[in-house]
Amino acid sequence: QVQLVEYGGGLVQTGGSLRLSCVTSGRTISRDAMGWFRQAPGKEREFVAAISWSEDNIMYTDSVKGRFIISRDNAKNTVYLQMNSLKPEDTAVYYCAADRGSFYLDRATSYDYWGQGTQVTVSS
């Protein structure tokens, strides 16, 4: 079966950094777009970042531009999210997802497979 598993969440102070990893098994992601979403308590799931399979289309939500970097290593079947200069408002459960071939990479409904999520908490 296809599984996506996130790693690297935890508790950090404001201004700190975390590196999230998402490892996919049961499917090769080399031709998939990969995305990161997050959901805070009482909030809707929010788009964070996405990267197309050919890496010619990389997207970020405005609130993380200049702070977060999405990357992928197809040989390891892994996508990463480097998070720098973290703020308390970044606190959420972060999910990775794989898209087999949709047009809108910033929409959760475009994605076919989802990880279980990893908690990121940023203290003030």
Q: Which residues on adjacent β-strands are paired with residue 81?
A: 20, 70
Q: How far apart are CA 35 and CA 98, in angstroms?
A: 6
**Inter-residue contact 115 to 6 (CB < 8 Å):** yes
Chain segment 31-78, per-residue pLDDT in tens: 999 999 999 999 999 999 999 998 999 999 999 999 999 999 999 999
Q: How much is the average pLDDT of 107-120?
A: 97
Q: Determine the residue type at 112.
A: D
Least-confidence region, from 17-21, 54-58, 79-83: 54-58
Query: Of 64, 67, 71, 59, nearest to 29 (Cα)?
Result: 71
Could you tell me whether strands 118-123 and 10-13 are parallel, antiparallel, or unpaired per DSSP bridges? parallel
Chain segment 89-103, per-residue pLDDT in tens: 999 999 999 999 888
Strand order in the sheet with 68-73: 3-7, 18-25, 78-83, 68-73
